[in-house]
Chains A and B, each alone.
Chain A
Amino acid sequence: MASLSLQHIGKVYPNGYVGVKDFNLEIADKEFIIFVGPSGCGKSTTLRMIAGLEEITSGTLEIDGKVMNDVEPKDRDIAMVFQNYALYPHMTVRENMGFALKLRKVPQDQINKAVEDAARILDLDQLLDRKPSALSGGQRQRVAMGRAIVRNPKVFLMDEPLSNLDAKLRVQMRAEISKLHDRLGATIIYVTHDQTEAMTLGTRIVVMKDGVMQQVDTPTKLYSEPCNLFVAGFIGSPQMNFIDATVIERGSDIVLTFGHNAITVTADKARALRSGGYVGKAVTLGVRPEDVLEVGAPAEGKRLSEPISATVSVYELLGSSVMLYTDADGASISASAEAATTARTGSVVSLVFDLDKLHLFDKQTELAVCH
């Protein structure tokens, strides 16, 4: 396995479109890195540049300390799992998996052994003599993984490998990939637009938007300390609430007001807002639905805000919990409430925020002020 270094990587297409801007990342051996972002953010382009399928316009790509910019894809010792699997339709599963070794003129008995070992890991033993057209989506996906494993590459690249599977199979395969990473101890770079996949699989996540890297961090850190409004909104489901609020100084306290509502922030956030010169200015208040509680709901150890009166516009029962979509003086606030709540569409509820879980963002730059 290997480490990768991407230094100031950029991609500009012949028509002038900038796909990726100044991408910098050091990937350690055995890391599971996730590139996540909306469509067109440059995550697949970056992956394809690492694979050698796209030319790198600027910057340097190193694998194990060797510059790879002009090295042919086959010589980079990289295996890739494609979104549509890209299996060879005219070859059996066995031939698909052993193809790379065959081209490298590896003796047939070694190829057979490698294919059978990989097939065992992926539970493909019974399918080795079938052609891809006789396989289900999940089986094809596993063959694509098997084809990568057989090569024993330095780096595995995966380009949205689960996006063509149904929801149930996706969850199952997600677990399989996670197990595979532990088992192979492989360096994996994985592209997805599904933030759940990103959060569950990655050791580190790279969030991208418009070709620009927004934040690189562990899933936990990314969730609890998003560096800007985009990351805060992209990571987490259901999405974080964003409320336009004004910062007011009231005695020694700092209060955030929106409509008729006012929330007194904790001392550390007050300090950050004062030192940043935000008093008297507008900021964006971010709070995740699970940090919005109904008054009276269990909240041991939590510092709660003043209650906010809101009218429920949509009630969604999710089984173990309920999503309440409410309106509080023009601010849309979604709250994840207990399933036992008596609130229904049209009812007026009292909501409180967990003060330690508030995120404040600069309205102009959209950068985080404090968490």
Chain B
Amino acid sequence: MGSTSKKRTFLIMLIPILVLFFCFNTLPLIRGLIYSFTNFRGFGGYDWVGLRNYVDLLGDARVGNSYLFTFKLALAATLLVNVASLVMALALDSKIKFKSALRGLYFIPNILGALVVGYIFNYFFTYIVPFLTNTTSILADARHAWIAIVIVCAWQSIAMNTIIYISGLQTVPEDVYEAGSLDGATGWNKFRYITFPLIMPFFTINMVLCMKNFMMVFDQIMALTQGGPAQSTESISFLIYNNGMAGGQFGFQSANAVVFFILIVTISVLQMRFLSSREEQL
């Protein structure tokens, strides 16, 4: 194949994707940024308001609460997911029977849609748990509803994180463990001094992905609480969607989305920097 023909094939494959990406990703991003400087309500006309939306964001209690809730949820879920999936990965990487079958079984939550899982757990928390414990639903409790969301988020995310940790554990050379066992590194010492430092790159990626995903939590809120009770489980994404689309605050929530975008990028970059500095090349 000549180089012109090769180039043409390359362009035929590339251009449609670029056009689609631009139309459905870049353009909305730019439009969103533009709307963030307006008082657009989602319909009708709008006026330029400069940085007023951004200034108003700082004083808005509902927005502030949504940020606090989202951070609390993201931190709790990230910790829970990483601890649980690391324990699970260590168990599934050890010499046990039916290892492959169990790995497949534990991965099932990941292939289910978040909304499906959310609605199943909604039923579980609304009917089954209260029936078994003779209490009211946790989802109706403004102080504890967030815990239910953490549980659902974690239940689904542990699967993928476990797989990433298992692949990490498999990169540690067996003879390093053997050298460790002769040196006296067994049990907790083995994990602390050998396993964990050597799977640090996988820990980094899992922490960053978890934090990012949980900061953007939406489906689980939608299916479980719709931000309630008393707006106690309103995540940033949910608030942006709810008030932006149905609350006539399209411009204001666009400004919120821009701030949120910058925040997530900043957190991810900082996490990568901090955790990568502790990684070791094998």
**Which residues in A have some Cβ–Cβ distance to B below 8 Å?**
51-53, 72-74, 78-80, 82-84, 86-90, 99-100, 103-104, 131, 133, 147, 151
Contacts and interface: CB of A to CB of B under 8 A. Distances in A.
Contacts, number: 67
Contacts of B189: 103
A267 to B, nearest CB: 55
A224 to B, nearest CB: 37
Nearest to A51: B182
A87 B282 CA distance: 10
B280 interface: yes
A89 B183 contact: no
Contact of A84 (B175, B183, B198): B175
B175 A90 contact: no
Contacts of A73: 178, 181-182
Interface string B149-176: 0000000000000000000000001011
A133 B281 contact: yes
A86 B282 CA distance: 11
B203 to A, nearest CB: 13
Contact of B178 (A53, A87, A89, A99): A53
Given A89-B280, A131-B280, A74 B181 contact: yes
Contact of B173 (A51, A84, A131): A84
A86 B186 contact: no
B282 to A, nearest CB: 5
Contacts of B281: 89, 133
Contacts of B173: 84, 86
Contact of B186 (A74, A78, A87): A74
B183 A103 contact: yes
21 contacts: A51-B182, A52-B181, A73-B182, A74-B185, A78-B182, A80-B178, A80-B179, A80-B182, A84-B173, A84-B175, A86-B176, A86-B179, A88-B180, A88-B194, A89-B281, A90-B197, A90-B280, A103-B184, A104-B184, A131-B280, A147-B179
B127 interface: no
Contact of B181 (A53, A87, A89): A53
Contacts of A86: 173, 175-176, 178-179
A233 to B, nearest CB: 31
Contacts of A90: 197-198, 200, 280
- Of A51, A86, A131, which is in contact with the most chain B CB atoms at under 10 Å from its CB? A86
A246 B203 CA distance: 72
Interface string B248-282: 00000000000000000000000000000000111
B48 interface: no
Contacts of B182: 51-53, 73-74, 78-80, 100
B193 interface: yes
A88 B182 CA distance: 13
Nearest to B281: A133
A151 B182 CA distance: 10
A90 B194 CA distance: 8
A141 B180 CA distance: 17
